Amino acid sequence: MLVCKFYVSNIARNAPHDLPAANVTMAPVISHCDEDGKFLEENANWSAWTPSGSIQLTITNPLAIDELQVGKSYLIGFQPAYD
C-alpha cells in the first residue's frame, strides 16, 4: 500500500437538496514542519518526492465532514483494487 500525507486546505460547506455536504480540498504536505512548526523527519522524507498535487472530494456524510479540519494533516492510503 502506498501511504501519502496530505493536509486539508479548504472545506466549503453547502447543502444541496437539504443534505449536508462539503467540498474538501487537500494538498500534499510540502513543509518539513508540522502544523505547530515542529520539524518532522516524516514530512521531510515525504515532501522531497511529492512537491505538488491535490485531492478534491464532495462528502455528504456529516460524521465524515466533522472529522476533517482545515490545516490538519492526514495519512491517505492507496491500495490496488482487484475487480
Domain that holds residue 50: 2-76
Of 4 and 39, more confident: 4
CA distance 37 to 78: 27
Overall number of domains in the chain: 1
The answer to whether position 59 is within a domain reads: yes
CA distance 38 to 33: 5
CA distance 58 to 11: 10
Please work out, in degrees rounded to the nearest 5, the angle formed at the alpha carbon of residue 70 by the alpha carbons of 66 and 74. 80
- Mean pLDDT score, 50-74: 90
Q: Confidence band (pLDDT; 50, 70, 90) for 9?
A: very high
